[in-house]
Structure 1
Amino acid sequence: MSEAEEIQAVTFGLGAEIFAVPVALVREILDYREAFHIPNGPDYLLGLTDMRGQGISTIDFRIKLGLPPVTPTPATRILVIDVPLSDRVLVLGLVVDRVLEVSTFRADQVEAAPDIGVRWSSDYIGGVVRRAGGFVVMVNVARIFSDEEAVTLAGPRAAAA
């Protein structure tokens, strides 16, 4: 990737932190709605959300990253993304506190993922961009879930089809 290349990303907030995922992986942004509960799933799995007749596995991204859950607000959104796995693409809904904007970053602005300690595993972090007022954490969506978790998340959707 040349230094002049640009990365377009959807930025979103979880608490005071700002995260981003590449625009190319975002299918849709939905208003928050309660998911259809699926029993015996991981604690971060809220259930299924209907997206034009398709059941999308929906997770609480705060819980997945080790943050405390919060009550949804009018700003809460479901970011429907494509998660590229080794053998397929998993369509997943991420419940986030708020969606901010589409931002453009130059490739040379993205710093390597730092070792940030206990709060988040640095495996999830594709890089960090410095901006006035703080940082934007670029999420590597392919590394959010282990292979076992991906199978669990794909299971309910396959069962609903």
Structure 2
Amino acid sequence: MSEDVTTDRNQYLTFTLEDELFALDIFSVREVLEFTSITRVPRTPEYMRGIINVRGNAVPVIDLNMKFGRTRTSQTISTAIIIVEVELEGESTIIGALADSVQEVFELKEDQIDPPPKMGTSIRTDFIRGMGKHGDGFIMLLDIDKIFSSEELSTLQSVACGQRPSEAIMAE
């Protein structure tokens, strides 16, 4: 009986970017780490802060604030790195997403989620899965698999593998 109650619910990890609340599907999140030293990789996009060592593996770290056209994330006691699995064209990549703070795992029923807002054809919103209702405000539910283009993910994979990013990607 309890299974029936939870089938119409979705769990999301909520986090802040500046003063706004965002969320990722909990199934795309591997773990949350405290801010740690990030090694900058030359000739990578500005939003790519560098790489970190996660149990012997080089994991690229993306500053979500910068990716979304905001200011660079400052290091505070609350700053966190969300380790996520991104999938594009059947290929999986592990990345770190830098956030101002991680809040909680939040459960939403389907009727608490509105579709993404229509912003016109010139504004890309395909990476927004929906808008979760939270009190008087909203939680922007992100689709981590659509935040990055295939070219950007290729750059992230090559950096994590110690290869030089292609010149075409760097020109963007």
TM-score, normalized by length of structure 2? 0.85
The 10-residue stretch of structure 1 (151-160 or 26-35) with the greater mean CA deviation from structure 2? 151-160
Q: What SS does the aligned partner of 2:46 have?
A: coil
Q: Find 2:49's aligned residue among 46, 51, 76.
A: 46
Which position in structure 2 is the counterpart of 1:84?
Answer: 87
Larger Rg: 2
**How many pairs were matched up?**
156
Is residue 2:36 matched to residue 1:36? no
**How many Å separate the matches in 2 of 1:87 and 1:38?**
26
Query: What are the superposed Cα offsets for residues 5-56 of structure 1, whole Å, 9 maximum, x if unpaired?
Result: 1101100001111000011111110000121111000110011111111110
Q: Shift of the alpha carbon at 1:4?
A: 5.5
Is residue 2:129 matched to residue 1:126? yes
Structure 1 residue runs of 4 or more that deviate by more than 4 Å after TM superposition: none
Q: Return the letter of the residue paired with 2:15.
A: F
**How many Å separate the matches in 1 of 2:16 and 2:119?**
18
Q: Return the letter of the residue paired with 1:66.
A: G
**How many Å separate the matches in 1 of 2:25 and 2:90?**
20
TM-score, normalized by length of structure 1? 0.91
Q: Return the letter of the residue paired with 2:29.
A: V
Q: What SS does the aligned partner of 1:108 have?
A: helix
Q: What SS does the aligned partner of 1:159 have?
A: coil
Q: Find 1:141's aligned residue among 122, 126, 144.
A: 144
**How many Å separate the matches in 1 of 2:148 and 2:92?**
13
Is residue 2:18 matched to residue 1:15? yes
Q: Return the letter of the residue paired with 1:59.
A: I
Gap regions ≥5 residues in structure 2: 1-5, 164-172
Q: Shift of the alpha carbon at 1:133?
A: 3.7
**How many Å separate the matches in 1 of 2:56 and 2:78?**
24
Q: What SS does the aligned partner of 1:126 have?
A: strand
User: Contact 2:74/2:100 (CA < 8 Å) preserved in 1?
Assistant: no
Is residue 2:156 matched to residue 1:153? yes
